[in-house]
Amino acid sequence: MIDLTNKDLMPNLCLIDGKWCEADQGDRVNVTNPATGEILASVPMMGKAETERAVLAAHSAGKAWRQLTGKSRAEILRRWFELLLANQDDLAKILSAEQGKPIKEAKGEIAYAASFVEWFAEEAKRVYGDVIPEVMPGTRLTVRKEPIGVCAAITPWNFPAAMITRKAGPALAAGCTIIIKPATQTPLTAIALAVLSEQAGVPAGVLQIVNGRSADIGDTLCAHPLVRKLSFTGSTEVGRLLMRQCSDNIKKVSLELGGNAPFIVFDDANLDKAVEGALIAKYRNNGQTCVCANRILVQDGIYDRFAAKLADAVDRMVVADGSNPRADLGPLIDTKAYASVSGMIDEALALGAKQVTKREIHTDPSQRFMNPVVLSGATKEMRVYRDEIFGPVAPLFRFYSIEEAIELANDTEFGLASYLYTSSINTYIQVSEALEYGMVGVNTGLISNEVAPFGGIKSSGIGREGSKYGIEDYLEIKYVCLGGLE
Ligand code: NAP
């Protein structure tokens, strides 16, 4: 049981066309706490028929929603933002319970999620078009930006709140309607966000939650001609599939996919700051973020000192149930994730990596909680070099020159986040310009916020979320050529 002040936040139903409803066949799925295995609640398990109904409701509701002024939509979004903050503690409890992240991180995620609603409430009033100087007498050329229409959002379990508001905020601000399919492991936060959107005055059908069978819901959303846009955050594998499915009726797609972030530490870096940055970039959300440092590339001259200092700090991190206020790291999302991360550690050790941290890695027989690890002597042959680790493991790779660091950093199909630590302005310019990534953190391990464009290149995705660019993905450009003027 989650002890909430505002009990209304857990109706444990889906929201379609302004009604809180069960699945047509009454199917339900349990939501469990990854820290304890406790069943927190059950929620409807929907499929094609319910999704189809949601699409029709979204289409119908969109007619009035798009007619509102940006200012009116902004007022509703502003109220939603205020309600999110007013319920921050309860929302964080729900999020932490179903996802596992420490309560302090969960509170931070709710503030981060709310910041997108606030930002896009403000942007709703700034959807500017253009007046283009005419090339023929007697004409006027203008450009208007119009809402794209019904949008679909499919979101992952690692940020159950922020990955939703990063899509719903700009969609609603632009005048679009949105159908959200949250991850099956973390639907309770999505449902709570929807409760508050309703209280804020978001009309029926404008924001809907359909939880259930991902392939059925995904198929329906991608195939339906009334859905004009899909925004997906999740694995590259599922992103590829959805992009293919959207190709039949040429839907606009935004994809926020996997990463393999390099975290480069040069000899001239401030050691303490680099360690502090690595702790944030690697171990936040137990290493389960798309922008997590995956490969820690360390220059020869600072390598041993960095390894020792990072390992010392990592050994002091508190691993505990997310509800424990002292917890730095909670459980991994499930035992499958635990097995996957363990497999990568075992392979790296078998291929010659050495564990620098002192704590034993596996002390929890239930295979939920893993003690964080630093590995030295990692090499290109290991999976930790190629694959997204998604767990509390920092593999350290040694390099000798700037050119080698750039080559290693770019040697991946992914291009989401990257990080570098140096005190040289020349190194900063040379390396940040050479990195084939959508985002570069220089002397910081924390780069995400609502005002900056978040997104990747290569197999990490298409499009940007947050910032002044985030709303563009939900708009179409309409050019009007007015002729025949005297
Ligand atoms: P995932 O398996 O791709 O799932 C993401 C979402 O897609 C879930 O809602 C899932 O539903 C749904 N889904 C799965 N198969 C589907 C299908 N055939 N059709 C339609 N929907 C389908 O990813 P994940 O394991 O939850 O999330 C981790 C991944 O997300 C990592 O690779 C991470 O890097 C990436 N990520 C990227 C960003 C970014 O901004 N770039 C941010 C966060 C996470 P079910 O839950 O029902 O399976």
* Ligand 1, atom 10, residue with closest C-alpha: 183
DSSP-assigned letters across all residues of 345-376: HHHHHHTT-EE-S-S-S---TTS-----EEEE
Residue type at position 271? L
Chain centre distance of CA 230: 15
Distance (Å, whole) CA 146 – CA 174: 7
> In this predicted model, what pLDDT tens digit does every residue of 157-196 receive, in sequence order?
999 999 999 999 999 999 999 999 999 999 999 999 999 9
- Judge whether 239 and 461 are in contact, CB under 8 Å: yes
The reply to whether ligand 1 has any atom less than 6 angstroms from the CB of 330 is no
β 414-415/457-458 pair status:
antiparallel
Cα of 184 from ligand 1 centre, angstroms: 10
Give the residue numbers annotated as catalytic, written as ranges. 256, 290
Are 172 and 202 within 8 A, CB to CB?
A: yes
* pLDDT tens column, 20-40: 999 999 999 999 999 999 999
Candidate from 179, 233, 260, 388 with most ligand 1 atoms within 8 A of CB, to mutate: 233
Gap between the Cα atoms of 416 and 420, Å rounded: 14
Q: What confidence tens digit (pLDDT) does each residue in 307-331 have? A: 999 999 999 999 999 999 999 999 9
State residue 215's pLDDT score: 98
220 pLDDT more than 90: yes
**pLDDT per position as a tens digit, 188-213:** 999 999 999 999 999 999 999 999 99
Residue written as tokens 């310009």? 433
Cβ of 415 below 6 Å from ligand 1? no
**Confidence grade of residue 404 (pLDDT, cut at 50, 70, 90):** very high
The candidate with the shortest Cα–Cα distance to 228, out of 212, 210, 250, 251, is: 251
Pull the structure tokens for residue 107.
């509170």
List, for residues 117-136, the tens digit of each pLDDT value: 999 999 999 999 999 999 99
Q: Out of 154, 159, 188, give the residue to mutate to test ligand 1, the one with the largest number of ligand atoms within 8 Å of its CB.
A: 154
The residue nearest atom 39 of ligand 1, judged by CA position, is: 256
Percent of the chain, pLDDT > 90? 100
Q: How far apart are CA 293 and CA 275, in angstroms?
A: 12
Amino acid occupying residue 355: Q
Nearest residue (by CA) to ligand 1, atom 35, is: 234
